[in-house]
Structure 1
Amino acid sequence: MRITVEATPIRPGHAAGVEAFTYGLLTGMAADPSHDLRVNVLRGTLDQWRDQVSADQIGWSEIGQPLRSDTAPGQLLRRWTPTRVRDSLAVRRAVNVVRQRSVPRQRGSDITLYPFHSAPIGPGPSVVVVHDLRHLHAAFHAPGFAAVVRENVARASALVVTWPHPYRETLRLFPEAAERTALIPTPTFQPAPARAAARPEPGLLVYPSSTAAHKNHATLLEAMASLPQCRLVCPGPLVEPEASRLLARAALPDLRGRVSFPGFVTLDELNALYARADAVVIPSLWEAASGAMLEAFSWGLPVACADAEPLLAQLEFTGAEAAVFRATEPASLAEAVQRLLADRAHYATAARHANGRLAARTWTATGGDYLDVLRWVAQGRPGPMPRSTFAAELTREEAP
C-alpha cells in the first residue's frame, strides 16, 4: 500500500498537540515495513521532522506554501487583523485557494492521510483525522474553518477521531458519516520518561499549551493575582494576538517575576518542567482531549481543570479525579488550586490511578489501527469499517 501523509499544514514548533500527534503517528505507522510511506512537509522544516521521526523508510518531500500565519509576517498580520475578518468565509476561501495551488497532485499513491482536519483535502481516496469540532459550535464559531471541516467530512473516504468526546460530537453533527467514522485513541503524547525523578517545587504550576484564545490563559493569569504563593510557567507556541496581551499582563506588578511564557520548548525542557511542577492547571475552554492532562497523569501530578465539556468527558473516560473550577471565573480557579495544594497527595494518587488506563497504549498499536483503516479505504471499503479494539475497551463498548 502506497500512503501519502499531507503534513504541510503543520509547522514544527507552532502546532502543539497536532504536531506531537503527527510525530507519534508517523513513528507508529513506520514500524510496519509492509507499506510505502511518503510525507509532504513544509519547505525548510525537513530537518525538524527528521529529528522527531527517525524512520529511514519514510520518503520526505518539502513543499512551499504561501500566506502562512505561523511566519513572522503572518504572526504580525494575525495580531492586527480582527478575528471576525480572519475567520470569515471569504478570507479563508481566498487563502485556501492560493495555498492549494502549491500542493502537488498525489501521483502514485493509493491513499492520502490528512492529519489536520481544518485544512482542505485534495481529490482521491482519503482519510481525515478529526481532532475537535469547536469551530462548529456557537461559542467558537469560525465560518471559514467550519466550511472547510464540513467539506472535508463530506469528501473524505473515511474519518478517524482521536477521543470519545469529539467522536460522539462527530456522529451527532454528521450522522451520515457514521459508517465511515472510527474512534482511534492515541497514547499520551509526551509521557514521563522511564525512571523519571520528580522533585516538586512547592507552588510551581505548569500549563503547557499554545496561546490560542480558547486555551484561556487570560482567566489563569487573573487567578494568579489571587495566588501570591504560586508561580506559573506556560510553555508552548506563542500565538497572536493573545500572546502579546498575555505577555503584557504578566509584566504588570502583581504578576511580574511569577509568570513566564518561554514559548515552544524541547521535550527535555518540558520534562524538566514536569519534574519540578507541583501541579498542572488546565483552564482550556475546549479540547479534543487535553494532552497536558494525560502528561500530568503519567507524571503522577495533581490536576486542576476547567469544567469545559470535553475536559469533564476526559476525566470520565480516564476514571480520573481533578480539582474542577468554573472555566471563566478566576476566583473559582484560584480556589481549586488552593484546594488541590491543600490535599496534594490525594490528587496525585488519583492522577497515577488515571494513568493506568492509557499507560499500555503505544504508537505502534495506534499506527496499526490507522493502517487498518487506510487499507480498508485503499481496497474500496469492503465490508464494515475496521474498529479499534482499544477504543472499544476504553469506552467500555463491545467491539464489533
Structure 2
Amino acid sequence: MAPERPRTGGGAGWRQPVTTGLALAMVGFTSSFAVVLAGLRAAGASPAQAASGLLALCAATGLTAIYLGLRHRMPLSIAWSTPGAALLVSMGPQHVRFGTAVAAFLVTGALLAATGLSARATRLLEAVPAPLAAAMLAGILLPICAAPVQAVVRFPARAAPIVIVWAVLFRFARGWAVPGALAATLAVVLAGPHGGTGGADPWPAPVLTAPDFTDAATVAGIALPLFLVTMASQNLAGMSVLAVHGYRPRLRPVLVTTGAATLAVAPLGGHAVNLAAITAAMAARPDAHPDPARRWIASVTGGAVYVVLGLAAGAAVVLTSAAPPLLIESVAGLALVGTLGSALHTAVSDPGEREAAVVAFAVTVSGIAPFGIGGAFWGLLAGLAFRLLLARRSEESPNDLTARGHALLTPDKEPR
C-alpha cells in the first residue's frame, strides 16, 4: 500500500526531518560502533585496520542512504550489520587472519548483490522461518551479552559503574542508556590505568587489506553466516519496519546497492552494509514529518551525518584500545541486550516452530566449528533439519498414530 497522505500541509519545513536525521545517525553510531570495533579486532584487524573499517562503513552507510533516499524518495535508512559484527566477536577465539576475514566480507557483498539480482534467491531467503533466523541471532548474541557479567567479576571497580549507569538510564531514559554507558566507559578509561592505545591514530585513514582466499573453509564459515544474519536480522527486518509505516520499496534494488557498497568497503575493512532495522522506524514514522512523502529527508540527512561521524573512527579506536578488551565487549553486550530480547521472543513465540528454534539456538551457542565453519551456520542448518523432521512426523494421519499407540499397548506384540 502507499504511504498515508498527510492531513496537514507540506509546510512543516525542513527542520523536523533534519533534526530526526541527526538523531538517527547519532543513535545508530553510538549504540553500535563498539560492537563493530570489537568484531573487527576479533577478526584479526590491527587498530589502524579497525579504524579504517569503521571509517569505510560510516562513509558507505551515509552515501548509500543518500543515494537510495534521493533515488526512491523514501526513508530508506542504511546501517552496518550490527548482528554481523556480533558474529565476528563470537568467532574471535579462532584467531582469524584479517586477510581471510576481508575475503569473507567480499563474498558476503557478492552474495547480497547476487540475491538482489535473482528473484528466486530473494524468495528463498524470505522463506527462511523467522523463528529459526531469530534463534540463530540469539545464539550469536548470548555470549556477548554475558560479557558485562564477566567484566563485573574480573574488573569490579571499572565495570560495575558502567553497568549501573546503563541500568539506571535504561529505567528512566532508555534512549540514553547506551550513550550513557559509553560516557561512563570513557570516564573509567581516562581515570584508571590502561595498556596504551596500541598504536592507534586519532585521525583515521583508509587501509587496504589484501583478501586471502586460501583458507576457503574459514572464508565460507564467516561469509555464509554473515550473509544470512544480515539478510534476516537487517534487510528483511528493515523491510518489515518500512511496511508497517506504509512504505513498500522493492527489495532487490536495495540488495544490489548495499551488496555493491559492501564489495567496495570490504578491502578497507568494512564487513556489511544493509538496511537499518531499529533506526529505520525513526525516519519512517510521523515524528520525522507529517507528510510521508517528505520523510526521505530524514534518512538522507542521517546519511550525511554518518559520513561526518566517520572522522571519529580513529578516536573511537583509541578509546577501545586503551581499555581491556572485555570491558569494551561488555559495552557491546549492553548495547545488544534489547536485540537479544527481541530475538529470543521471536524464536519461541510460535509454538509450532519452538522446538526447531531451540535446536538452532543450542547448536549456534555451542561454539562448534566443524570444517572451519562457525556454529551460526550449523545452528540454522540443524534447526531447518529438525523442522523438516517434525513436519514429516506431523504428516502421519490420526489413524496411523492411533494404530501405533495400540501396537505399543498390545501385550502380544513387540513394541516398535
Normalising by structure 2, we get a TM-score of 0.27
Normalising by structure 1, we get a TM-score of 0.28
Q: Which has the higher contact order (CA 8 A, sep 6+)?
A: 2
Going by fraction, where is strand more abundant, 1 or 2? 1
- Select the structure of larger CA radius of gyration: 2
Going by fraction, where is helix more abundant, 1 or 2? 2
